[in-house]
């Protein structure tokens, strides 16, 4: 009986590890030409790799691996018809990552909920001028 229990536990752990490895191998890379904010963290301009291991999380890592962070996300039904892209909300001179869209990897089609900081900036800028969305091509 113990042997069967151990085998079941080993197979469950192996499945979880394998699914996480598969999820993390699908990522997109984008060169962002401006500083931007994800959740409440401001990231400098640069090249980033975005992956989504599932569980409502998106991981963002700089190409030099000096910056790595996670953000809560939810899947959206949108997908890109013209290649991979990142969608940013722009308020004044501040950019906030809003969506990651791909034409093929549905686990990367995610929406990133606005942070408290983004909501504050949006309210402050709303009275000044129209807000914009900016899209950056990724590969």
Q: How far apart are CA 39 and CA 71, in angstroms?
A: 6
Task: Tabulate helix, strand, coil % of the chain (nearest 5).
Answer: 25, 45, 30
- The answer to whether the CB of 90 falls within 8 A of the CB of 14 is no
Quick: pLDDT tens for 32-72.
Answer: 999 999 988 999 999 999 988 877 788 999 888 888 888 88
| Helical (H) or strand (E) element with 15 | helix 2-25
pLDDT over 70 percentage in the chain:
71
Q: How far apart are CA 36 and CA 90, in angstroms?
A: 9
pTM over 0.75: no
Q: How far apart are CA 104 and CA 89, in angstroms?
A: 23
| Among candidate residues 9, 35, 138, the one with its CA nearest the CA of residue 95 | 35
């Amino acid at each position: 009986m113990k042997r069967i229990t151990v085998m079941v536990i080993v197979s469950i752990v192996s499945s979880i590890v394998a699914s996480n490895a598969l999820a993390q191998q699908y990522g997109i890379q984008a060169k962002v030409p401006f500083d931007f904010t994800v959740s409440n963290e401001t990231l400098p301009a640069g090249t980033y790799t975005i992956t989504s291991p599932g569980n409502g999380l998106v991981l963002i890592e700089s190409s030099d691996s000096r910056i790595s962070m996670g953000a809560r996300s939810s899947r959206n039904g949108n997908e890109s018809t013209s290649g991979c892209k990142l969608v940013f909300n722009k308020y004044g001179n501040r950019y906030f990552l809003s969506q990651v869209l791909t034409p093929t990897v549905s686990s990367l089609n995610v929406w990133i909920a606005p942070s408290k900081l983004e909501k504050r900036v949006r309210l402050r800028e709303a009275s000044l001028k129209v807000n914009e969305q900016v899209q950056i091509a990724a590969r």
